Amino acid sequence: MHNNKQNKGPLRKDGIDLRAIQARAEAEAVEKGEKLMVDKMLFCPFALGHPRVAGMEDQEGYVEFTVEDLDGLKAGAAKL
């Protein structure tokens, strides 16, 4: 009987690195011969002190986490 548990090893290894997640998803799709499917990651940027972006001043709540957001976090523009 399968209980649909997540394999946490790859999730821990990838973390929030979107490039690593994309690469792993591509490798798994090729290995299984399936269509590439990558989950979207969402976050609340303003809760992290992420700088307000022009055109998004009034936006609240969750938005899609992009590679640019990740690069901003790594550069120190916002703190986790």
Q: Where are the domains of the chain?
A: 1-37, 40-80
The pLDDT of residue 59: 67
Per residue in 19-72, pLDDT (tens digit) is 988 898 899 899 989 888 888 888 877 776 666 666 666 667 788 888 888 887
Banded model confidence at residue 6, pLDDT cuts 50, 70, 90: confident
Residue that is written with structure tokens 């979107």 in the block: 18
The pairing of strands 63-64 and 42-43 is antiparallel
- pLDDT exceeds 80 at position 1: no
User: First CA to last CA across the chain, in angstroms?
Assistant: 39
Q: By C-alpha distance, which of 12, 16, 26 is closest to 70?
A: 16
CA distance 39 to 36: 10
